[in-house]
Amino acid sequence: MASKLFSLVAFSSFLIIFNLLSSPSLADVPLNTPLPPETICKSTPHPSYCISVLPHKNANVYDFGRFSVQHALSQSHKLFDSIEKYLQTSSALPQPAIQALEDCKLLALSNIDFLSSSLQTVNKTSGVLSSLAADDSQTLLSAILTNHQTCSDGIESLPSSAGSAISDLSVPISNNTKLYSVSLSLFTKGWVPKDKSGVPKRPKRQFRFGKGRLNLKMSSHARAIYDAAINHRRRRLLQVGDEEVLVKDIVVVCQDGSGNFTTINEAIAIAPNNSVASDGYFLIYITAGVYQEYVSIISKKKYLLFIGDGINQTIITGNNSVGDGSTTFNSATLAVVAEGFMAVNITVRNTAGPSKGQAVALRSGADLSVFYSCSFEGYQDTLYTHSLRQFYRECDIYGTVDFIFGNAAVVFQNCNIYPRQPNKGQFNPITAQGRTDPNQNTGTSIHNCTIKPAADLASSNFTVKTYLGRPWKEYSRTVYMQTFMDSFIDPAGWHDWSGDFALSTLYYAEYNNTGPGSSTANRVTWPGYHVINSIDAANFTVSNFLLGDNWVPQTGVPYTGGLI
């Protein structure tokens, strides 16, 4: 009898597992149900690799998810060590390989930080997180893939003559891509709520504009600029909304020597490290002038606030380019990765010109960053919205090929987009969005903006074709909503990258745009292209796509949370 009972139980267990294995979806299975890795891995983009990595035992999605994040952290350390080893023998490497490896080193360090933070999150709970907490970790895990892809792109672009480091790193880079994807997939399945409806808003706080001053020697003229900066800030930014903004300290950059510093980088160097939002911003007031310097804001310089004297008044400029030997990633005039960065009333330029190839003006991998009333001027690859969460309001963006590109979760609102005259034989795709994984919460949303030709393109009789975008990566995602499009936009709207690459996996959408170039009658007929309604469009607003109601108000910058 006992033997028959055991056989019946075993057969029932077999049927349950068989049904799970053969089912097309695990959506109805409780998340804490122990399952074999073959079943769990079916929901990931790389099932075979997933099965090879996860322990060969039954466990639930939370246990497997924690294991994958821990393993990803371990492999990231190993990759970083390998990169370090090759850089220590850099005298044997050509300069392009050294630059690509330096980029990879920086990106690998960032990934180690992001994975450490993500591991803390998944170790705390076995259950669905709040929308805010889930978005924080999903953003980090998405950025890990983006960082790694940036490294991979840099390595793959090198010629075989670059040395053995390139071929030796190709396998671990490929495997880590799959491992990060599996980690993101399991996190999304286990910890992320199925929708963002009813997102609780963080309590709004009244931020004050403090008058704290650094103990620095200042001339009477500099003191006057200092006080004027506070008044300027109060007039130009704080009175546009109900929120006030806390500023902890302020320094003045002035080229004539009457401020605290004559260069921007000197001011950044003395800014505090690892500030938090409640401490207030460290304000660097940059007076009018042309600052010919490459500015880099590293991750520990959190909650910096740049305020200039206005577009085309305070100008940061450089001319690094791929054509002159830089990597795209390292060509930026202004590069920022510090959380909470904000810039107001500043122009950032890359003057390399259309013949020098990729040449970035701004590269931002700064989470919760805001750019208000700024101008970004360049040609190919002007604005690199690399990763994490970003918001641009009332900015001007000039460029030619792929001049808004990257893989951040980003919203452009009330901005002016100006395609310029490219090199002969080129066309202008405005965007080249770089989403590589279906679980990344990234994409480019262009809301209530204006697209018009720059003066040089307008005077060319429009022999150059201009498109809304093209798919740089397989899951490229770009949405235009309530935006004015002038007549020079090609009726097809969008351009392919290479043949049918990504045409069925991308997500390109348009909603209620205006102007002579906005007609969708002759748009592309790709499987991934959509004309959407207001319900779908609402997913790409500041409130929903960025959960911006929880962090944009503290910046004092005006914004529209939903559709207009």
- What separation in angstroms does the CA of 530 have from each of 24, 300, 430, 533? 26, 41, 18, 10
pLDDT band at 226 (very low <50, low <70, confident <90, very high): low
Torsion of CA 419, 420, 426, 429, to 10 degrees: -10
What is the arithmetic mean of pLDDT over 18-29?
52
* Nearest-10 Cα torsion for 311, 315, 319, 320: -100
pLDDT at 30 over 90: no
Lookup: tokens for 299: 């991750």
- Which pLDDT does position 236 carry in this prediction? 42
Residue 213: pLDDT over 50: no
Q: Cα-atom radius of gyration of the chain, to the nearest Å?
A: 25
Question: Percent of the chain having pLDDT more than 90?
Answer: 76
Residue with tokens 């980003």: 410
Confidence of residue 359 (pLDDT cuts 50, 70, 90): very high
* pLDDT tens profile 32-58: 999 999 999 999 999 999 999 999 999
Region 37-191: CATH code: 1.20.140.40
Check residue 295 and give its pLDDT. Answer: 98
The region of weakest confidence among 326-330, 424-428, 458-462 is 458-462
pLDDT for res 463: 82
Mean pLDDT across the stretch 503-511?
98
Q: Measuring CA to CA, which residue among 108, 86, 107 is closest to residue 98? A: 86
The values of phi and psi at residue 552, to 5°, are -70, -40
259 contact partners, CB below 8 Å, separation of at least 6: 218, 222, 225, 251, 252, 253, 285, 287
How high does pLDDT run on average in the chain? Answer: 88
pLDDT band at 239 (very low <50, low <70, confident <90, very high): very low
Q: What is the pTM of this model?
A: 0.90
User: What pLDDT shows up at residue 10?
Assistant: 46
Sign of the CA dihedral running 430, 435, 438, 444: negative
Per-residue confidence (pLDDT) for residue 28, from 0 to 100: 64
Helix axes 131-156, 95-124, angle to 10 degrees: 160
Q: What letter represents residue 401's amino acid?
A: V
Domain with CATH 2.160.20.10 in the chain: 400-563
Question: pLDDT class for 203, splitting at 50, 70, 90?
Answer: very low
What CATH number has the domain spanning 400-563? 2.160.20.10
Q: Which of 44-48, 116-120, 277-281, 481-485 has the lowest mean pLDDT?
A: 277-281
Least confident stretch, 25-39, 246-260, 326-340, 411-425? 25-39
| Start and end residues for every CATH 1.20.140.40 domain found in the chain | 37-191
Residues with catalytic roles:
402
How many angstroms separate the CA atoms of 247 and 251, rounded?
11
**Which one-letter DSSP state was computed for residue 340?**
T
CA angle 552, 557, 562 (to 5 degrees): 60
Give me the pLDDT at residue 91, please: 74
- Residue 242: which pLDDT band, with cuts at 50, 70 and 90? low
Average pLDDT over residues 16-26: 46
Q: How many Cβ atoms are within 10 Å of 347's Cβ, its own excluded?
A: 20
Tell whether the model's pLDDT for residue 280 goes beyond 70.
yes
Q: How far apart are CA 461 and CA 286, in angstroms?
A: 39
For residue 86, the tally of other CB atoms under 10 A from its CB is 21
Q: What is the pLDDT of residues 546-560, one digit of tens each?
A: 999 999 998 989 999
User: Which amino acid makes up residue 381?
Assistant: D
Those residues with Cβ within 8 angstroms of residue 416's Cβ, 6 or more apart along the chain or in another chain: 395, 396, 397, 449, 450, 452
Model confidence at 5, pLDDT cuts 50, 70, 90, reads: very low
Please report the pLDDT score of residue 497 as a whole number. Answer: 98
List Cβ neighbours of 236 (8 Å cut-off, separation of 6 or more).
307, 344, 345
What is the number of other CB atoms lying within 10 angstroms of the CB of residue 133? 16
Q: What is the mean pLDDT of residues 411-415?
A: 98
pLDDT confidence band for 165 (50 / 70 / 90): low
Q: Is the pLDDT of residue 204 over 70?
A: no
Share of the chain above pLDDT 70, in %: 85
Encoded tokens for 467: 């498109």
Alpha-carbon distance of 35 to 29, in angstroms, equals 10
Report whether pLDDT(4) > 50: no
- pLDDT of 11 over the 60 cut: no
pLDDT of amino acid 167: 73
For the ranges 65-79, 91-105, 143-157, 415-429, the lowest mean pLDDT is seen at 91-105
Per-residue model confidence (pLDDT) at position 230: 52
Report, as an integer, the average pLDDT of 532-556.
96
Residue 197 phi, psi (nearest 5): -65, 145
Smallest CA-to-CA distance from 468 within 514, 509, 426, 413 is with 509
pLDDT score of 197: 47
pLDDT score recorded for residue 368: 98
For residue 24, pLDDT beyond 60: no
Is residue 196 over pLDDT 90?
no
pLDDT at 96: 87
Q: Is the CB of residue 507 less than 8 Å from the CB of residue 475?
A: yes
Going by pLDDT thresholds of 50, 70 and 90, the confidence category of residue 205 is very low
**CA angle, residues 467, 390, 400, in degrees to nearest 5:** 25
DSSP code per residue over 413-474: ES-EEEE---STT--EEEEEE---STT---EEEEES-EE---HHHHTTTT-S-EEEE--SST
Q: Does residue 288 or residue 94 have the better pLDDT?
A: 288
Q: Return d(Cα 361, Cα 347) in angstroms, integer.
A: 9
Query: Apex CA 376: angle with CA 375 and CA 382, to 5°?
Result: 165
pLDDT at 477 over 80: yes
